[in-house]
Amino acid sequence: MNNNQATLSKMNQMRLHGMARAFGNILETGMSHKFTIDELLSQLIDTEWDDSVDATYFYVSAGTDIANGWSIAGTLGHQDVDCDDCSYTHAQLDVTKSLGDMGDITLSVSKASENSGDDDFKPFISWSKGIDI
C-alpha cells in the first residue's frame, strides 16, 4: 500500500469520509500538484464540513427499570451520510445499577457496522453522579 492509500485508509477509519473522497478525487484527476498546501487543506476540510452538515443520525432508544435499582436500555441508530458506503448502523446495550447517593454505574456494549471504520465490539463502564449547583 503506497503512502496515499494508507492516508485514505486512515481518513476512512477516522470517519473523515468527505475528506477521503475529496483527497481520492484529487489524486485520481492528477490535480494534487495544482494546489498549494493551504489550498489543499482548505479543500479537504471544506468537503468534510459539507458532508458532516449533510449527515443525519437517526436512532431509537428504550429503557426500563428491572428491579432493586437495576435498569436496562438499548439504542439502535443509523448514521446517514451523503456518500456511497459511508453510512453505518450502530447498536448499544446498557445495564445500569443505582448506587444510591454514590450515583449510577453502567456497563455498556457498543457495536457499529463495518462501514463505520471500526466494527469491533466496544465494552465500557461508566459512573455518573448528579450534583446540585
Confidence of residue 94 (pLDDT cuts 50, 70, 90): very high
What pLDDT sits at residue 84? 63
Report which secondary-structure segment, H or E, holds 52.
Answer: helix 37-54
**What pLDDT, in 10s, does the model give residues 97-119?**
999 999 999 999 999 887 766 77
Closest CA to 116 of 83, 94, 93, 68: 83
Give me the mean pLDDT over the 111-129 stretch: 85
C-alpha cell read off for 13: 477509519
Confidence of residue 82 (pLDDT cuts 50, 70, 90): low
**What pLDDT, in 10s, does the model give residues 15-70?**
787 888 888 888 888 776 777 888 888 888 888 777 766 667 788 999 999 999 99
